Structure 1
Protein backbone atom coordinates (compact mmCIF):
# COMPACT_ATOMS: atom_id res chain seq x y z
CA UNK A 1 0.00 0.00 0.00
CA UNK A 2 2.83 2.37 0.84
CA UNK A 3 4.44 1.65 -2.56
CA UNK A 4 1.17 2.59 -4.28
CA UNK A 5 1.05 5.94 -2.45
CA UNK A 6 4.65 6.67 -3.43
CA UNK A 7 3.93 5.73 -7.06
CA UNK A 8 0.83 7.98 -7.12
CA UNK A 9 2.81 10.88 -5.65
CA UNK A 10 5.51 10.46 -8.30
CA UNK A 11 3.17 9.71 -11.20
CA UNK A 12 -0.03 11.51 -10.22
CA UNK A 13 -0.35 13.52 -13.41
CA UNK A 14 0.21 10.40 -15.53
CA UNK A 15 -2.49 8.55 -13.58
CA UNK A 16 -4.97 11.42 -13.99
CA UNK A 17 -4.26 11.68 -17.72
CA UNK A 18 -4.67 7.91 -18.10
CA UNK A 19 -8.06 8.00 -16.35
CA UNK A 20 -9.18 10.94 -18.52
CA UNK A 21 -8.02 9.14 -21.66
CA UNK A 22 -10.01 6.03 -20.69
CA UNK A 23 -13.11 8.16 -20.10
CA UNK A 24 -12.65 9.75 -23.53
CA UNK A 25 -12.40 6.32 -25.14
CA UNK A 26 -15.50 4.95 -23.41
CA UNK A 27 -17.92 7.90 -23.33
CA UNK A 28 -19.43 8.77 -26.75
CA UNK A 29 -20.19 12.37 -25.83
CA UNK A 30 -16.72 13.01 -24.43
CA UNK A 31 -15.15 11.44 -27.50
CA UNK A 32 -17.39 13.61 -29.68
CA UNK A 33 -16.31 16.72 -27.72
CA UNK A 34 -12.63 15.92 -28.33
CA UNK A 35 -13.28 15.34 -32.04
CA UNK A 36 -15.26 18.60 -32.22
CA UNK A 37 -12.23 20.48 -30.89
CA UNK A 38 -10.11 18.97 -33.67
CA UNK A 39 -12.76 19.75 -36.30
CA UNK A 40 -13.07 23.36 -35.16
CA UNK A 41 -9.55 24.00 -36.46
CA UNK A 42 -10.87 23.45 -40.00
CA UNK A 43 -8.06 21.03 -40.85
CA UNK A 44 -10.52 18.20 -41.53
CA UNK A 45 -12.84 20.22 -43.78
CA UNK A 46 -13.29 19.78 -47.52
CA UNK A 47 -14.15 22.58 -49.91
CA UNK A 48 -16.96 22.77 -52.39
CA UNK A 49 -15.48 22.10 -55.83
CA UNK A 50 -15.80 24.16 -58.98
CA UNK A 51 -18.58 23.18 -61.35
CA UNK A 52 -17.59 20.76 -64.11
CA UNK A 53 -20.01 21.48 -66.94
CA UNK A 54 -21.62 18.36 -68.31
CA UNK A 55 -20.76 16.16 -65.35
CA UNK A 56 -24.02 16.91 -63.55
CA UNK A 57 -26.03 14.88 -66.07
CA UNK A 58 -24.30 11.57 -65.29
CA UNK A 59 -24.19 12.34 -61.56
CA UNK A 60 -27.94 12.97 -61.54
CA UNK A 61 -28.65 9.65 -63.22
CA UNK A 62 -26.64 7.75 -60.63
CA UNK A 63 -28.48 9.04 -57.57
CA UNK A 64 -32.03 9.13 -58.92
CA UNK A 65 -32.73 6.03 -56.85
CA UNK A 66 -32.32 7.84 -53.52
CA UNK A 67 -35.69 7.79 -51.80
CA UNK A 68 -36.09 9.00 -48.23
CA UNK A 69 -38.99 9.22 -45.81
CA UNK A 70 -39.64 11.63 -42.99
CA UNK A 71 -41.12 10.90 -39.56
CA UNK A 72 -44.66 11.05 -40.95
CA UNK A 73 -43.81 8.48 -43.61
CA UNK A 74 -43.89 11.02 -46.45
CA UNK A 75 -41.57 9.97 -49.27
CA UNK A 76 -38.91 12.32 -50.67
CA UNK A 77 -37.43 11.68 -54.11
CA UNK A 78 -34.10 13.53 -54.19
CA UNK A 79 -34.05 13.69 -57.99
CA UNK A 80 -37.33 15.67 -57.86
CA UNK A 81 -35.72 18.48 -55.87
CA UNK A 82 -34.96 20.65 -58.88
CA UNK A 83 -33.09 23.96 -58.85
CA UNK A 84 -32.12 23.73 -55.18
CA UNK A 85 -28.86 23.41 -53.28
CA UNK A 86 -29.11 20.15 -51.35
CA UNK A 87 -27.10 19.37 -48.20
CA UNK A 88 -27.17 15.63 -47.44
CA UNK A 89 -25.67 14.26 -44.23
CA UNK A 90 -25.60 10.53 -43.44
CA UNK A 91 -25.25 9.93 -39.70
CA UNK A 92 -26.00 7.58 -36.80
CA UNK A 93 -26.42 8.22 -33.08
CA UNK A 94 -23.76 5.64 -32.11
CA UNK A 95 -21.10 7.32 -34.30
CA UNK A 96 -18.77 9.66 -32.31
CA UNK A 97 -17.63 11.67 -35.38
CA UNK A 98 -21.32 12.19 -36.30
CA UNK A 99 -22.00 13.45 -32.78
CA UNK A 100 -18.94 15.68 -33.00
CA UNK A 101 -20.03 17.43 -36.21
CA UNK A 102 -23.76 17.56 -35.52
CA UNK A 103 -23.73 20.92 -33.67
CA UNK A 104 -22.16 22.47 -36.78
CA UNK A 105 -24.79 20.80 -39.01
CA UNK A 106 -27.49 22.29 -36.75
CA UNK A 107 -25.91 25.77 -37.02
CA UNK A 108 -25.81 25.46 -40.81
CA UNK A 109 -29.45 24.36 -40.79
CA UNK A 110 -30.45 27.27 -38.54
CA UNK A 111 -28.73 29.71 -40.88
CA UNK A 112 -30.35 28.45 -44.12
CA UNK A 113 -33.54 26.68 -43.04
CA UNK A 114 -35.79 29.49 -44.30
CA UNK A 115 -34.06 29.79 -47.66
CA UNK A 116 -36.45 28.30 -50.26
CA UNK A 117 -33.51 27.43 -52.53
CA UNK A 118 -31.84 25.14 -49.97
CA UNK A 119 -32.87 21.68 -48.78
CA UNK A 120 -31.47 19.73 -45.82
CA UNK A 121 -31.57 15.94 -45.90
CA UNK A 122 -30.12 14.60 -42.64
CA UNK A 123 -30.38 10.83 -43.10
CA UNK A 124 -30.28 8.65 -40.00
CA UNK A 125 -28.72 5.19 -40.44
CA UNK A 126 -29.30 3.73 -36.97
CA UNK A 127 -30.60 0.14 -37.09
CA UNK A 128 -33.25 1.25 -34.59
CA UNK A 129 -34.53 4.64 -35.70
CA UNK A 130 -35.86 5.45 -32.22
CA UNK A 131 -32.21 5.80 -31.12
CA UNK A 132 -31.65 8.53 -33.71
CA UNK A 133 -34.86 10.31 -32.73
CA UNK A 134 -33.92 10.13 -29.04
CA UNK A 135 -30.48 11.57 -29.75
CA UNK A 136 -31.91 14.56 -31.64
CA UNK A 137 -34.45 15.17 -28.87
CA UNK A 138 -31.87 14.81 -26.08
CA UNK A 139 -29.57 17.37 -27.73
CA UNK A 140 -32.44 19.68 -28.86
CA UNK A 141 -31.44 19.39 -32.52
CA UNK A 142 -34.17 20.41 -34.97
CA UNK A 143 -32.73 19.19 -38.29
CA UNK A 144 -35.08 17.01 -40.36
CA UNK A 145 -35.12 13.36 -39.27
CA UNK A 146 -35.07 11.24 -42.42
CA UNK A 147 -34.45 7.55 -43.06
CA UNK A 148 -33.71 5.67 -46.29
CA UNK A 149 -36.72 4.19 -48.10
CA UNK A 150 -34.60 1.81 -50.19
CA UNK A 151 -31.00 1.45 -51.27
CA UNK A 152 -28.65 4.42 -51.11
CA UNK A 153 -26.65 4.87 -54.34
CA UNK A 154 -22.91 4.27 -53.86
CA UNK A 155 -22.07 7.61 -55.44
CA UNK A 156 -23.60 9.28 -52.36
CA UNK A 157 -22.79 6.85 -49.54
CA UNK A 158 -20.41 3.91 -49.46
CA UNK A 159 -20.37 2.97 -45.78
CA UNK A 160 -18.34 5.69 -44.00
CA UNK A 161 -20.06 7.69 -41.28
CA UNK A 162 -20.49 10.55 -41.30
CA UNK A 163 -20.69 11.29 -45.02
CA UNK A 164 -21.78 14.69 -46.34
CA UNK A 165 -22.75 15.50 -49.90
CA UNK A 166 -23.69 18.90 -51.35
CA UNK A 167 -25.51 19.08 -54.68
CA UNK A 168 -25.76 22.30 -56.67
CA UNK A 169 -28.92 23.54 -58.40
CA UNK A 170 -28.11 21.46 -61.48
CA UNK A 171 -27.86 18.32 -59.40
CA UNK A 172 -24.07 18.14 -59.66
CA UNK A 173 -22.15 16.77 -56.68
CA UNK A 174 -19.97 19.66 -55.54
CA UNK A 175 -18.88 18.28 -52.17
CA UNK A 176 -18.45 14.66 -51.09
CA UNK A 177 -16.81 14.44 -47.69
CA UNK A 178 -16.31 11.25 -45.69
CA UNK A 179 -15.60 11.82 -42.02
CA UNK A 180 -15.83 14.62 -39.53
CA UNK A 181 -15.97 18.28 -40.57
CA UNK A 182 -17.12 21.62 -39.18
CA UNK A 183 -19.95 23.11 -41.27
CA UNK A 184 -20.38 26.21 -39.10
CA UNK A 185 -17.39 28.12 -40.49
CA UNK A 186 -17.85 31.44 -42.30
CA UNK A 187 -15.74 30.04 -45.14
CA UNK A 188 -18.27 27.22 -45.65
CA UNK A 189 -21.22 29.63 -45.47
CA UNK A 190 -19.55 31.68 -48.18
CA UNK A 191 -19.27 28.59 -50.40
CA UNK A 192 -22.95 27.76 -49.81
CA UNK A 193 -23.90 31.36 -50.66
CA UNK A 194 -21.95 31.07 -53.92
CA UNK A 195 -23.87 27.90 -54.80
CA UNK A 196 -27.17 29.60 -53.98
CA UNK A 197 -26.23 32.49 -56.27
CA UNK A 198 -25.39 30.23 -59.22
CA UNK A 199 -27.93 29.99 -62.01
CA UNK A 200 -29.70 26.65 -62.30
Structure 2
Protein backbone atom coordinates (compact mmCIF):
# COMPACT_ATOMS: atom_id res chain seq x y z
CA UNK A 1 0.00 0.00 0.00
CA UNK A 2 1.25 3.46 -0.86
CA UNK A 3 1.45 5.67 2.21
CA UNK A 4 2.44 9.24 2.90
CA UNK A 5 4.93 9.44 5.73
CA UNK A 6 7.28 12.24 6.73
CA UNK A 7 7.12 13.85 3.32
CA UNK A 8 7.98 10.65 1.43
CA UNK A 9 6.05 7.66 0.25
CA UNK A 10 6.77 4.40 1.99
CA UNK A 11 5.94 1.09 0.35
CA UNK A 12 4.90 -1.48 2.91
CA UNK A 13 5.83 -5.08 2.30
CA UNK A 14 2.23 -6.24 1.99
CA UNK A 15 2.57 -6.87 -1.74
CA UNK A 16 4.79 -9.02 -3.91
CA UNK A 17 7.00 -6.70 -5.92
CA UNK A 18 7.86 -7.64 -9.45
CA UNK A 19 6.35 -7.68 -12.88
CA UNK A 20 5.58 -11.24 -13.98
CA UNK A 21 2.38 -9.97 -15.59
CA UNK A 22 4.54 -7.87 -17.95
CA UNK A 23 6.62 -10.78 -19.26
CA UNK A 24 4.91 -10.77 -22.69
CA UNK A 25 4.53 -6.99 -22.91
CA UNK A 26 7.11 -5.12 -25.01
CA UNK A 27 8.65 -2.36 -22.89
CA UNK A 28 11.03 0.29 -24.18
CA UNK A 29 12.94 3.20 -22.64
CA UNK A 30 13.96 6.57 -24.06
CA UNK A 31 17.27 5.38 -25.46
CA UNK A 32 15.54 2.50 -27.29
CA UNK A 33 16.65 0.01 -24.66
CA UNK A 34 14.34 -3.00 -24.41
CA UNK A 35 13.31 -3.57 -20.79
CA UNK A 36 13.21 -7.16 -19.55
CA UNK A 37 10.95 -8.40 -16.76
CA UNK A 38 14.06 -9.35 -14.77
CA UNK A 39 15.01 -5.64 -14.74
CA UNK A 40 11.79 -5.00 -12.80
CA UNK A 41 12.27 -7.80 -10.29
CA UNK A 42 11.77 -6.74 -6.65
CA UNK A 43 10.38 -3.36 -7.71
CA UNK A 44 6.99 -1.91 -6.91
CA UNK A 45 5.25 -1.24 -10.22
CA UNK A 46 3.04 1.77 -10.88
CA UNK A 47 1.16 1.79 -14.18
CA UNK A 48 0.62 5.36 -15.38
CA UNK A 49 -2.04 6.02 -18.02
CA UNK A 50 -1.83 9.40 -19.78
CA UNK A 51 -1.34 11.19 -23.10
CA UNK A 52 0.01 14.39 -24.56
CA UNK A 53 -3.38 15.59 -25.86
CA UNK A 54 -4.95 15.44 -22.38
CA UNK A 55 -4.82 18.79 -20.55
CA UNK A 56 -5.16 17.19 -17.11
CA UNK A 57 -2.28 14.85 -17.98
CA UNK A 58 -0.08 17.77 -19.01
CA UNK A 59 -0.77 19.36 -15.62
CA UNK A 60 -0.30 16.20 -13.56
CA UNK A 61 2.69 14.58 -15.31
CA UNK A 62 5.27 17.16 -14.09
CA UNK A 63 4.08 16.51 -10.52
CA UNK A 64 4.35 12.76 -11.02
CA UNK A 65 7.80 13.15 -12.58
CA UNK A 66 9.01 15.21 -9.64
CA UNK A 67 7.53 12.70 -7.18
CA UNK A 68 8.98 9.73 -9.08
CA UNK A 69 12.46 11.25 -9.29
CA UNK A 70 12.43 11.70 -5.51
CA UNK A 71 10.76 8.38 -4.66
CA UNK A 72 13.08 6.37 -6.92
CA UNK A 73 16.05 7.58 -4.85
CA UNK A 74 14.59 6.02 -1.69
CA UNK A 75 12.34 3.22 -2.89
CA UNK A 76 12.66 0.23 -5.20
CA UNK A 77 9.99 1.49 -7.57
CA UNK A 78 9.32 1.60 -11.30
CA UNK A 79 6.79 3.60 -13.26
CA UNK A 80 5.48 1.99 -16.47
CA UNK A 81 3.80 4.38 -18.88
CA UNK A 82 0.73 3.31 -20.85
CA UNK A 83 0.04 5.95 -23.49
CA UNK A 84 -3.37 6.98 -24.81
CA UNK A 85 -1.85 9.08 -27.60
CA UNK A 86 -3.42 8.73 -31.03
CA UNK A 87 -0.20 8.58 -33.06
CA UNK A 88 3.23 7.08 -32.46
CA UNK A 89 4.93 10.45 -33.09
CA UNK A 90 2.75 12.14 -30.46
CA UNK A 91 3.54 9.37 -27.97
CA UNK A 92 7.29 9.75 -28.44
CA UNK A 93 7.15 13.57 -28.41
CA UNK A 94 5.21 13.63 -25.13
CA UNK A 95 7.42 10.95 -23.58
CA UNK A 96 10.62 12.82 -24.44
CA UNK A 97 9.21 16.17 -23.31
CA UNK A 98 7.38 15.31 -20.10
CA UNK A 99 8.12 11.88 -18.65
CA UNK A 100 11.14 10.51 -16.79
CA UNK A 101 13.17 7.76 -18.48
CA UNK A 102 10.77 4.96 -17.55
CA UNK A 103 9.59 1.90 -19.49
CA UNK A 104 6.61 2.40 -21.78
CA UNK A 105 4.44 0.23 -24.00
CA UNK A 106 5.02 1.19 -27.65
CA UNK A 107 2.21 2.78 -29.64
CA UNK A 108 -0.28 0.35 -31.15
CA UNK A 109 0.56 -2.62 -28.93
CA UNK A 110 -2.51 -4.72 -28.05
CA UNK A 111 -1.63 -4.65 -24.34
CA UNK A 112 -2.59 -0.98 -24.12
CA UNK A 113 -6.28 -1.73 -24.68
CA UNK A 114 -6.08 -4.83 -22.48
CA UNK A 115 -4.65 -2.76 -19.61
CA UNK A 116 -7.24 -0.01 -20.04
CA UNK A 117 -9.96 -2.63 -19.64
CA UNK A 118 -8.28 -4.70 -16.94
CA UNK A 119 -7.49 -1.67 -14.76
CA UNK A 120 -10.86 -0.01 -15.43
CA UNK A 121 -9.30 3.22 -16.68
CA UNK A 122 -12.18 5.47 -17.70
CA UNK A 123 -10.38 8.81 -17.49
CA UNK A 124 -6.78 9.90 -17.66
CA UNK A 125 -4.45 10.59 -16.00
CA UNK A 126 -4.70 7.44 -13.90
CA UNK A 127 -2.11 5.51 -11.88
CA UNK A 128 -2.31 2.06 -10.30
CA UNK A 129 0.11 0.34 -7.92
CA UNK A 130 0.06 -3.34 -8.88
CA UNK A 131 1.52 -6.54 -7.46
CA UNK A 132 3.58 -9.22 -9.21
CA UNK A 133 0.44 -10.71 -10.79
CA UNK A 134 -0.83 -7.36 -12.03
CA UNK A 135 -3.56 -7.09 -9.41
CA UNK A 136 -4.33 -3.59 -8.18
CA UNK A 137 -2.97 -2.89 -4.71
CA UNK A 138 -3.73 0.84 -4.71
CA UNK A 139 -5.74 2.76 -7.29
CA UNK A 140 -5.45 6.10 -5.48
CA UNK A 141 -1.82 6.73 -6.49
CA UNK A 142 -2.72 9.83 -8.50
CA UNK A 143 -4.54 11.40 -5.55
CA UNK A 144 -1.68 10.58 -3.18
CA UNK A 145 0.89 12.13 -5.52
CA UNK A 146 -1.32 15.25 -5.75
CA UNK A 147 -1.49 15.49 -1.94
CA UNK A 148 2.26 14.92 -1.64
CA UNK A 149 2.90 17.62 -4.24
CA UNK A 150 0.55 20.02 -2.46
CA UNK A 151 2.30 19.53 0.90
CA UNK A 152 5.76 19.96 -0.62
CA UNK A 153 4.80 22.90 -2.85
CA UNK A 154 3.66 24.95 0.09
CA UNK A 155 6.33 23.54 2.40
CA UNK A 156 3.83 22.69 5.08
CA UNK A 157 3.55 19.58 7.17
CA UNK A 158 0.59 17.24 7.17
CA UNK A 159 -0.36 18.48 10.65
CA UNK A 160 -0.34 22.09 9.41
CA UNK A 161 -2.48 21.07 6.42
CA UNK A 162 -4.92 19.24 8.71
CA UNK A 163 -5.18 22.32 10.96
CA UNK A 164 -5.83 24.50 7.90
CA UNK A 165 -8.57 22.17 6.62
CA UNK A 166 -10.30 22.01 10.01
CA UNK A 167 -10.11 25.79 10.40
CA UNK A 168 -11.47 26.30 6.86
CA UNK A 169 -14.33 23.88 7.50
CA UNK A 170 -15.31 25.74 10.69
CA UNK A 171 -15.18 29.12 8.94
CA UNK A 172 -17.42 27.94 6.12
CA UNK A 173 -19.74 26.16 8.53
CA UNK A 174 -20.32 29.44 10.40
CA UNK A 175 -20.44 31.69 7.34
CA UNK A 176 -23.34 33.57 5.73
CA UNK A 177 -23.45 33.59 1.96
CA UNK A 178 -25.37 36.07 -0.16
CA UNK A 179 -25.40 35.83 -3.93
CA UNK A 180 -25.45 38.95 -6.08
CA UNK A 181 -23.24 39.32 -9.11
CA UNK A 182 -20.64 37.23 -7.29
CA UNK A 183 -20.50 35.32 -4.02
CA UNK A 184 -20.05 37.57 -1.01
CA UNK A 185 -18.69 35.91 2.10
CA UNK A 186 -19.41 37.38 5.52
CA UNK A 187 -18.42 35.53 8.71
CA UNK A 188 -20.73 35.73 11.69
CA UNK A 189 -19.50 37.72 14.66
TM norm structure 1: 0.48
Question: For residues 70 and 51 of structure 1, what CA distance do their matches in structure 2 show?
Answer: 28
Q: 1:94 aligns with which of 46, 49, 53?
A: 53
Contact 1:88 1:165 in 2 (8 A): yes
Question: For residues 75 and 45 of structure 2, what CA distance do their matches in structure 1 show?
Answer: 11
Q: Give the root-mean-square deviation of aligned CA atoms.
A: 4.2
Q: What 5-or-longer segments of structure 2 have no aligned partner?
A: 1-10, 152-189
Distance 1:183 1:102, change over 3 A: same
Question: For residues 74 and 13 of structure 2, what CA distance do their matches in structure 1 show?
Answer: 22
User: How much has 1:71 moved relative to structure 2?
Assistant: 3.0
Q: 1:183 aligns with which of 128, 145, 149?
A: 145
Alpha-carbon displacement from aligned partner over 1:13-59 (angstroms, at most 9, x marks no partner): xxxxxxxxxxxxxxxxxxxxxxxxxxxxxxxxxxx99948xxx6xxx
Q: What 5-or-longer segments of structure 1 have no aligned partner?
A: 1-47, 190-200
Q: Alignment length, in residue pairs?
A: 135
Residue 144 (structure 1) aligned with residue 120 (structure 2): no
Question: For residues 54 and 102 of structure 2, what CA distance do their matches in structure 1 show?
Answer: 16
Question: For residues 71 and 57 of structure 2, what CA distance do their matches in structure 1 show?
Answer: 20
TM norm structure 2: 0.50
Question: For residues 48 and 72 of structure 2, what CA distance do their matches in structure 1 show?
Answer: 15
The correspondence of residues 158-177 of structure 1 with structure 2, limited to 5 A, is 158=121, 160-168=123-131, 172-176=135-139
Q: 2:78 aligns with which of 98, 115, 119?
A: 119
Contact 2:63 2:145 in 1 (8 A): yes
Question: For residues 69 and 134 of structure 1, what CA distance do their matches in structure 2 show?
Answer: 14
Residue 68 (structure 1) aligned with residue 27 (structure 2): yes
User: How much has 1:114 moved relative to structure 2?
Assistant: 2.9
